[in-house]
Amino acid sequence: MSTPNSSAAATGAPQYVITAENLTKRYGDVAAVDGISFSVPAGEAFGLLGPNGAGKSTTMKMIGGVSQRTSGTLRIMGLDPDQNGPEVRAHLGVVPQQDNLDEELKVRDNLLVYGRYFGLPMSYLKPKADELLEFAQLTDKAKSKVDALSGGMKRRLTIARSLINEPRILLLDEPTTGLDPQARHILWDRLFRLKEQGVTLILTTHYMDEAEQLCDRLIVVDKGKIMAEGSPASLIREYSTREVLELRFGSERNATIGAELEGIGERLETLPDRVLIYAHDGEAALEEVSARGLRPVTSLVRRSSLEDVFLRLTGRSLVD
């Protein structure tokens, strides 16, 4: 797969393959997407991080040209998806939140049949299907029925299918939801390889580790609005401390222990199941807790994550 080139790229200026300005989608009085603006250069892995109902999937549908925006502007490779839907979709690969493979067909046939929807000739499709099965580590399953595959294999086949038309942009909606840790890491590796080939990745996720692993840059979205934008590392530096001390005192005492922890670290967050102390040195914070005679049931020092960024920005956990 070739990396897109343009006169803009030749002069060193960013070649934006997606630009959105004040993008809005309303359902009656409800603003599912509320005036968001962002740009994505070619070859970037760009993420939309937020809880369920934040507007991530709605944004993806507008990018994919299957849902018309209410207002604002949106351009995909310079084209308006509302006006040029077929031309836009010809350059897109789409991995939906739920696998929609044909369970009755064999694995390889899923790729061939899907490719025919794009009007691609069998002389191209047959070798391309074999190439994609190898990429997805499914060569030995080519003649198997789809319903015999594991969840991770089905997800990899869905991604392989989305690549049949050699898209320049790949849209991935919650790509690893429901997969076990091993299947998730295999999938991440496949996505890294696509990025190395110059494919632009746009993904939604509510998994903080996935966003940190895959995304060059992301927007944190809540209730249809952008709360923050930047690289995972820059967002953590801006909105959190280097480390977090997690303490559990028991469900009844968690809510009342805050006053006794006052002054330890830079910031305190009380959640229903634990208390978080934000500090640049988590071990030193834990020593101070002990010095005050406080004895948590459990304690854990960890590095800050995008989960902490979201909590700081919204006052809620990503999994609320």
pLDDT digits (tens, 9 = 90+) for 247-280: 999 888 888 898 999 999 999 999 988 999 999 9
Instruction: Tell whether 94 and 114 lie within a shared domain.
Output: yes
Instruction: Tell whether 200 and 298 lie within a shared domain.
Output: no
232 is written with which tokens?
Answer: 């995972």
Across the beta sheet with 16-27, the strand order is 30-41, 16-27, 71-76
For the chain, counts of helices (H) and of strands (E): 13, 13
Residue the block writes with tokens 């690549």: 163
* pLDDT at residue 13 in the model: 52
* pLDDT at residue 48 in the model: 93
Instruction: Tell whether 226 and 265 lie within a shared domain.
Output: no
Instruction: Tell whether 221 and 293 lie within a shared domain.
Output: no
Residue 52: pLDDT over 90: no
* pLDDT at residue 178 in the model: 81
- SS3 state at 292: coil
* pLDDT at residue 208 in the model: 85
pTM beyond 0.95, yes or no: no
* pLDDT at residue 3 in the model: 41
CATH number at residue 252: 3.30.70
Instruction: Tell whether 280 and 220 lie within a shared domain.
Output: no
Backbone angles phi, psi at 45, to 5 degrees: -100, 110
Confidence band of 14 (pLDDT split at 50, 70, 90): low
Instruction: Tell whether 92 and 121 lie within a shared domain.
Output: yes
Could you give the percent of the chain with pLDDT greater than 90? 70
* pLDDT at residue 12 in the model: 53
Using the 3D structure, point to which of 231, 250, 267 is the last residue of a domain. 231
- SS3 state at 157: helix
Give one DSSP letter per residue of 19-87, joined into a string. EEEEEEEEETTEEEEEEEEEEEETT-EEEEE--TTSSHHHHHHHHTTSS--SEEEEEETTB-TTTSHHH
* pLDDT at residue 2 in the model: 41
Using the 3D structure, point to which of 231, 263, 278 is the last residue of a domain. 231
Backbone angles phi, psi at 222, to 5 degrees: -145, 130
Report if residue 311 sits inside a domain.
no
The beta-strand segments (E) located in the chain are: 16-27, 30-41, 45-49, 71-76, 92-95, 169-173, 200-205, 217-222, 225-230, 243-248, 267-270, 275-279, 298-303
Instruction: Tell whether 98 and 247 lie within a shared domain.
Output: no
Indicate the number of domains in the chain.
2
Confidence band of 318 (pLDDT split at 50, 70, 90): low
Residue 6: pLDDT over 80: no
Q: How far apart are CA 200 and CA 138, in angstroms?
A: 23
Instruction: Tell whether 27 and 152 lie within a shared domain.
Output: yes
Instruction: Tell whether 270 and 150 lie within a shared domain.
Output: no
Give the domain range for residue 250.
241-303
Instruction: Tell whether 122 and 259 lie within a shared domain.
Output: no
Instruction: Tell whether 214 and 276 lie within a shared domain.
Output: no
Question: How do beta strands 275-279 and 267-270 pair?
Answer: antiparallel
- 76, 20 Cβ separation under 8 angstroms: no
* pLDDT at residue 7 in the model: 42
Within 13 A of 165's CA, how many CA atoms are on the CB side?
21
Using the 3D structure, point to which of 231, 266, 286 is the last residue of a domain. 231
- 87, 80 Cβ separation under 8 angstroms: no
Instruction: State the average pLDDT over residues 241-246.
Output: 96
Q: How far apart are CA 280 and CA 83, in angstroms?
A: 51
* pLDDT at residue 18 in the model: 97
Backbone angles phi, psi at 113, to 5 degrees: -65, -40
Confidence band of 8 (pLDDT split at 50, 70, 90): very low
- 70, 92 Cβ separation under 8 angstroms: no
Residue 127: pLDDT over 70: yes
Instruction: State the average pLDDT over residues 36-59.
Output: 93
Question: How do beta strands 169-173 and 71-76 pair?
Answer: unpaired
Least confident of 51-55, 153-157, 228-232, 285-289: 51-55
Residue 9: pLDDT over 70: no
Buried b (16+ CB within 10 A) or exposed e, 228-238: bbbebeebbee
Instruction: State the average pLDDT over residues 86-108.
Output: 90
* pLDDT at residue 33 in the model: 96
CATH number at residue 104: 3.40.50.300
Q: How far apart are CA 218 and CA 107, in angstroms?
A: 33
Report if residue 129 sits inside a domain.
yes
Could you give the percent of the chain with pLDDT greater than 70? 94
Least confident of 5-9, 22-26, 83-87: 5-9
* pLDDT at residue 183 in the model: 85
Instruction: State the average pLDDT over residues 176-187.
Output: 86
| CA 177 remoteness from chain centre | 10
> Under the phi-then-psi rule, with left for phi > 0, alpha for psi from -120 to 50, and beta for the rest, what region is 174?
left
One-letter amino acid of 23: L
Instruction: Tell whether 35 and 107 lie within a shared domain.
Output: yes
- 56, 44 Cβ separation under 8 angstroms: no
pLDDT in tens, 186-236: 889 989 999 999 999 999 988 888 899 899 999 999 999 999 999 999 999
Confidence band of 177 (pLDDT split at 50, 70, 90): confident
**Residues linked to residue 200 through DSSP beta bridges, in sequence order:** 169
Report if residue 318 sits inside a domain.
no
